[in-house]
Structure 1
Amino acid sequence: MKYLLPTLASLAASALSAALLEPWAVATDRDTQLPLVIWHGLGDDFEREGLQEIAALATKVNPGTYVHLIQLADTGSDDRQATFMGNLTEQLITVCEQLAADPILGSAPAVNALGFSQGGQFLRGYVERCNAPRVHNLVTFGSQHNGIAEFQSCSTGDWVCQGAEALLHAGRWTEFVQSRLVPAQYFRDPAELDAYLEHSNYLADINNERAHKNTTYAANLATLNRFAMFMFDKDTIAVPKESAWFADVNSTDGTVTPLRERPIYKEDWLGLKKLGDQDKLEFRTVPGQHMHLSEKVMEETFKEYFGPTDSSRSSPPRLIEQPGAQ
């Protein structure tokens, strides 16, 4: 999946090398440039050119940014396969250990986090379950926070994707599929809610939808300084697109129930209401199809959310919401 338009191809590889080798830095006597953690989406990998360009752009916009690209394997091909096949509970444990073991991330006062597509709900899971190192600002693009009701279409010859799609349709609620197929672990069709609550290996737990609520999840997520969720306005890949804003969509008639009208918010199962009450929860839109991001959008994102932060206080909270969205 290509994240950025070809305009980023001109970024020098040396810029990325400097970004990855330079530790987080003090920009002024008070302002600290926090490290940035990025988790890519389905079908992508840490070696992909588009992701490398994004890391380079992060350092270009905010000099001194140490960028950590999350990887679940030693090679790009194996990392890509891990986006389709694997146990999310085990993968998240691996990432928690990976970030905690990084000496630069561990020595920083906090880190910023950027999640693309499914990487967004995985990073949210990191905040809820681990959060060490602590996440300051969390930004997600086209992430399926309330799950998917359909699996994405696969390109011809993409056997890994096609095999995953076949498993999803064959028995998505079986233990075999829920412990091995990544997209199945955040599949959520309201028409199959009982089966989802009983068998979901990841999303039902991380969204605190079962009867027993994990208070740690809500407490950890509520520590975020800002949580910005971007939805692509023409998204037909992540279905429903409103999942990017935690909205619930009736699969039969298409009725959308915004986050603030759902029990998950009203009863504050996840700390989202606390964030909202403090003006730290942001609903944003970006034009176009799923993960079609321009250099301009990414530059603005890096400037607004990942620039130097005053180490003596949190950034001023803001609420940026699209009219009529929530």
Structure 2
Amino acid sequence: MIGTCRSNVISVSTAVSNYQQRGHREDHLTVPSIMRSITLLATLATNALSVALPWQSATDAANGTQLPLVIWHGLGDDFEREGLTQVAQLAESTNPGTYVHLIRLANDGSGDRSATFFGNVTEQIALVCEQLAADPILSTAPAINALGFSQGGQFLRGYIERCNTPPVHNLVTFGSQHNGISAFESCAFDNWFCKGAEELLRSGRWTSFAQSRVVPAQYFRDPEELDSYLEHSNFLADINNERAVKNETYRKNMASLNRFAMFMFEEDTVAVPKESAFFSEVNATTGEVTPLHERPIYKEDWLGLKQLHEQGKLDFKTAPGQHMHLSEKTMRKAFEQYFAPLEESSRSAPGLVVQQRGL
């Protein structure tokens, strides 16, 4: 069992609602201290690191028999979280010799958690690009695998599109907001840290302040505010190649993936809309879902997703339960299917079917 959660379920919590229940000291920050946190993050970001867990075998990772795995966690989480360590241990036990890096954006868990709420995503990705390229194990491996939890999934996609050195072989995302969010989860009454981000997102999401400092604002996308989104979005409009001038490098880098698997949580009420995990668009008024294959991003292949799909490399999966409540069974199956040794995962896996309903 991963962790101590009942029914073999681990909550790799990236949800604000879960964050509210943890009793972190940030829950009682005042509004002025939130502003100080924003300033502090500029300093913390210069020390962005990806941490290699000590029990993995560097030799196996470097010789290419087992690709290293990079994990980017989500909102309200941090690299010191026990659940993430247990996910890394599960990855290693499933595929022995896996060298695991947990991306972090500060030197301690508190700072790393703060950076999931406040920071410039473009700068954070650039710093992670530098760190992964400089890592002696990751940089000498033939490629790496990547696992993104919630917002970490679209951030890893940003890494692939903007640098991809070392290159990603397989990308797996759980509950990620690839088409953005159109609502923000309500915060607990006394959680001023969360409420500071919430207020900025609700009242000033298109301001330069919010778009350069409030992380969820940088992947906020409401179809009713599309013009403002295209003009002001610091992150998502760019990496989704939605603006008039397309970045061909983004398309080529995504199309270079061996496999891109997206998991949507069936009962997700935290990531709104949950169908964003599949690049789908949802009409907030009618609830009508426009699937990926009916959208210009697919038809005109802005991101190489159509190419991946036609090559059988784009997988749409569902996972039971609420946002980021993952069972060991689900995780292990994903690790077996997508992160197996290169000589095994590169073969055509029997029973690997693209779920057409997800398009």
TM-score (norm: length of structure 2): 0.83
**Given that residues 61 and 68 in structure 2 are in contact (C-alpha distance below 8 angstroms), is that contact kept between their aligned partners in structure 1?**
no
**Which of 186, 189, 207 matches 1:153?**
186
Q: CA deviation at 1:101?
A: 1.1
Confirm or deny that 1:221 pairs with 2:254: yes
**Given that residues 89 and 201 in structure 1 are in contact (C-alpha distance below 8 angstroms), is that contact kept between their aligned partners in structure 2?**
yes
**Given that residues 280 and 319 in structure 1 are in contact (C-alpha distance below 8 angstroms), is that contact kept between their aligned partners in structure 2?**
no
Matches within 5 A, 1:112-191: 112-191=145-224
TM-score (norm: length of structure 1): 0.92
Q: CA deviation at 1:240?
A: 0.2
RMSD (Å), alpha carbons? 2.1
Q: CA deviation at 1:170?
A: 1.4
**Which of 37, 41, 46 matches 2:79?**
46
- CA–CA separation in structure 1 for the residues paired with 2:321 and 2:313: 25
* Structure 1 residue runs of 4 or more that deviate by more than 6 Å after TM superposition: none
**Given that residues 35 and 67 in structure 1 are in contact (C-alpha distance below 8 angstroms), is that contact kept between their aligned partners in structure 2?**
yes
Structure 1: unaligned runs, 5 residues or longer = 10-15
- CA–CA separation in structure 2 for the residues paired with 1:128 and 1:31: 23
- CA–CA separation in structure 1 for the residues paired with 2:95 and 2:5: 20
Aligned equivalent of 1:64: 97
**Given that residues 4 and 292 in structure 1 are in contact (C-alpha distance below 8 angstroms), is that contact kept between their aligned partners in structure 2?**
no
Q: CA deviation at 1:26?
A: 6.9
**Given that residues 146 and 188 in structure 1 are in contact (C-alpha distance below 8 angstroms), is that contact kept between their aligned partners in structure 2?**
yes
Confirm or deny that 1:316 pairs with 2:353: no
**Given that residues 145 and 243 in structure 1 are in contact (C-alpha distance below 8 angstroms), is that contact kept between their aligned partners in structure 2?**
yes
Aligned equivalent of 1:88: 121
- The number of residues matched between the two structures is 314
Query: Which stretch shifts more, 313-322 or 230-239?
Result: 313-322
Confirm or deny that 1:23 pairs with 2:55: no
Identical positions, percent: 67
Matches within 5 A, 1:67-78: 67-78=100-111
Change (3 A) 1:236 1:89: same
Structure 2: unaligned runs, 5 residues or longer = 11-52
- CA–CA separation in structure 1 for the residues paired with 2:55 and 2:192: 36
**Given that residues 4 and 295 in structure 1 are in contact (C-alpha distance below 8 angstroms), is that contact kept between their aligned partners in structure 2?**
no
**Which of 295, 305, 309 matches 1:276?**
309
Q: CA deviation at 1:325?
A: 3.0
**Given that residues 3 and 292 in structure 1 are in contact (C-alpha distance below 8 angstroms), is that contact kept between their aligned partners in structure 2?**
no
Give SS of 1:177's match: helix
Q: CA deviation at 1:192?
A: 0.3
